[in-house]
Structure 1
C-alpha cells in the first residue's frame, strides 16, 4: 500500500467515524448496508504509511509470473486475442482449477472476476426470498450483506473462549424447516480458525440430513499454518458442498481478479452464470492465461508466500511474548494474518486509531467484522502478515508499544 509518508494528523474525526461505519455511541455499530472495512481503509489511507492491514500474500510482479510460464504459454501470451472470453472461463483455466480437486472436472468449475463476485452470483442462484440461511460469523462483511439481502438469515458465532471453534449444537439449533444454505469461511478471516476433520464431518452430516447447500469460502486455504493437517475442500467431501477460492490471497495475485466456484451440480453453475452475465460477464483474456500459469506453478508461488508469512509470524510471536500485558498470547493459525486479543484499557478500536494517527501504522480493529446476526468479539486486532513490509511494520508497532505507559 502506497500512502502519504508525510501524513501525521489524527484522522479519527467525527465525520470519519461516521463514514467508516463506527457509531460514536458506546459499543459502536455498523450501518446496515455499508462495507465497513472499505470505508475504514479509505478514511485512514491518508494517515498511515506502514501497512499491517493487508491479508493477501506479497504481490507478484507480472515479469516474475511470466518467468514461470512454459514456451507455449509465452506464445499464447504474445498472440492473445483481446476479444470477449467464455463466460464460464476458458477450458484450459477451468481444467487447471479442477486439477486441484478430487471430485470435480472442468465442467463443474465456474471462473469469475474474483472470489467475491463468484460467491455473490452463486448465492443469488441458490437463495430465494422464502428461504432461510445460516452464516457462521465472523465473515467477510459483503458476503453477509448479500445473504441477508436475499432471505431470512441467522448467524452462529465461532466461540472465542474455545479457540474459535464451531459449536455444532448451536449450529443445529439455528436451522429452520426452510433453511436452504449454510455459508462458512474456513480457514476463517479474521480469526484464522480452521475446522478439524471431526467437526467438518459433523457439519456435513447435519447439512446432508437436512438437504442443505454448504458453501465454504476457502480463499485462505493456501496460507493455513498447518497444510499437512488441512481438511479436504468441502466440494470433495459432500455432494452439496461448494468450494470458493481464487488467486488473490495465497498466490499474491489480486490484480488478476481470478476466482472460482467448484460445484458438482452443473444446473447450479448454470444459474450462477446467468447471474454473472449481469455483472462482469467474463474474465479478461490476459487474466485467464496468467491465472493458468499461476495454477501450474502453485507450489513455487505459494512456497515463497508462506516463507514470508512464517518469518513475520516469528517476529510477531516474539513481540506478543514481550508484551503479554497488552496482548493475550495468540498461537498463529494462518500465515496471512494474526488476530491477537488487545488487553489495553483504551480498547482495540481506539488503539487502532492511535496507531494510525501517532505511529502511521494501519491495523484493523475487530469492530470491522461486527455482525447483525450474532455477537462478535470487539477486542481484537487483525494484523496482516503476508507482505515483505510487514516485518518492518511490526518493528513500528513494537516501538509504539515501548513508548506507551500501560
Structure 2
C-alpha cells in the first residue's frame, strides 16, 4: 500500500472513526486528538503491515489513544467505565455517524471560519499544517482556531445519553442541512492551494454528504461546485492575472466535470424542490452550455436570478441580476436595476463600471473601475480592475 493510497484511505475513514469515538462517550476534542494520533500511527505502520480491516484498526487504536490520554488526566471521571467499553478486535460496527459529524462541525455557535477549519480537520482528515497553508495563515493561528472550535462543540456530542436528551438533535433536522451546505460552500470558495487542493476537497466532502443524505440541495451544491470547478483552468492567464468569464478560452473548460454537474442538476431539478444552490447551478449550467460568450442565453439567466431572488432576497443576488439584465435588455436597463441597490454593496462599483462602459460612458466607467479597485477584496481582483481603468483611460486619451 503506497503512502498516497494510505493518506487517501485515512482521510475517507476519519469522520466515521471520530464519530464512533464520540458516540461511545468521548469528549469531542479528546476524541479528535486521539484519531489524529491514530492516523499518524497508521501512516507509520501500514506501509509494512497493512491491516485487513482498516476502519476497525483505526477505531481500536484511536480508542486506546483516547484511554491513554484519559488515564493521564486524573481529573477525568468514569475512567474505569470507559476502559470497560474498549472494543474487541474485529470489524468496526456498521453504524455510520458521519452525517451527524457534518452537523456538529457546522454548529451555530462557531464562526464561519472556525466551522470551515473544523470541517476540514474532523471530516476532511487534513492536518492543521495543511489547513493553515490552504488559508495562508500561520500554523499556530490555525491550531488555536481549531482548538477553540473543538472546545465549543465538546458539549454537543453523539453519545447515546446526549441523543436521548436531544442535546444535539436540533442539528440533525432537515432545515439544518442549509447550515452544513453553507460551510462546505465557504470551503470551496475561500480556499487557496497549499499542498492540498481545497476546492477539490470541498467537492469530495460534498460527494460524501450526498451519499449520506438524500436532499436536492446537497445535489444542487455538488452540481454548482463541479460546474464552477470545470472553468478553473481558464480563469487565470499564464502571468496569474484574472480572465473574465466572457474572455475565457472555453476549450480549456473541463467537459467531464461540466457533464457530471449538469446531470446531477437535472436529476435534482426533476424533484421539483427548488433551492438556492440548484438555482445557482442552473445559472452556471447556462454559461457552460453557451459555445461562446455571445451565445449565452441571458434572458433565461435573468429568469433564474428572479427565482434566486425569490428564494433568498439577497442584495448580492440582485447585484448579479443587474449584470444579467444589462446583458439581456441593454446596459441602461442594467443600470436601472442597479440604481435600486445600496452602493456600499461589495463589487457594486465594479458592476456599475462595467455597465457604464457598455453604455459608452468611458469617463464614468474608468472612475468607477478605480473606485472598485480600491475596494477589491484581493490583489488579483485589484490588479484586474486597475488594468480595466487604465485600458479605458488609454482609449479616451488616444
When normalised by structure 2's length, the TM-score is 0.24
Return the structure number with greater helix share.
2
The structure whose Rg is larger is: 2
| Structure with more contact order per residue of length (Cα contacts < 8 Å, sep ≥ 6) | 1
Return the structure number with greater strand share.
1
When normalised by structure 1's length, the TM-score is 0.24
